[in-house]
């Protein structure tokens, strides 16, 4: 076994660094959950709806997704990878929670991304 586990997440587990199990939508009390429907405002053009498809600690581990990332699968099929970690309490302000849902298209461990 490697001394640090898997990157910074392994270091956090091995050395007791502060960890956060949940994250909330931008300045709300609503926690991010697998299957949530969201609206994502693109940086320069328009917006898209999508679904939370991967959450660290909830979804099965995927070797291509680093431990401190969560993923939204947009309705156009593209994925948006965002930071998730002990120092991040809220999502980016361009992400708006729409409604709770059940995961209809989660990212599977062997899926090519």
Could you give all domains of the chain from N- to C-terminal order, each with its CATH number?
Answer: 22-99 (2.30.30.140)
How confident is the prediction along the chain (113 residues), in pLDDT tens digits per residue?
A: 333 344 444 444 444 444 456 889 999 999 999 999 999 999 888 999 999 999 988 899 888 888 889 999 999 989 999 988 778 889 999 999 999 999 998 998 888 87
Tell me which long-range contacts 54-61 makes (C-beta under 8 A, separation of at least 24): 54/106, 54/107, 55/84, 56/9, 56/84, 57/21, 58/33, 58/34, 59/34, 59/106, 59/107, 60/108, 60/109, 61/109
Q: What is the pTM of this model?
A: 0.77
């Amino acid at each position: 076994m490697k001394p640090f586990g898997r990157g910074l997440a392994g270091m956090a587990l091995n050395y007791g660094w502060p960890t956060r199990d949940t994250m909330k939508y931008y300045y709300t009390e609503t926690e991010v959950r697998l299957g949530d429907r969201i609206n994502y405002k693109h940086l320069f053009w328009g917006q898209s709806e999508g679904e939370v498809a991967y959450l660290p600690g909830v979804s099965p581990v995927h070797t291509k997704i680093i431990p401190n990332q969560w993923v939204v699968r947009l309705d156009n099929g593209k994925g948006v990878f965002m930071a998730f970690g002990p120092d991040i309490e809220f999502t980016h302000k361009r992400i708006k929670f729409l409604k709770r849902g059940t995961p209809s298209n989660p990212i599977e461990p062997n899926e090519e991304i």
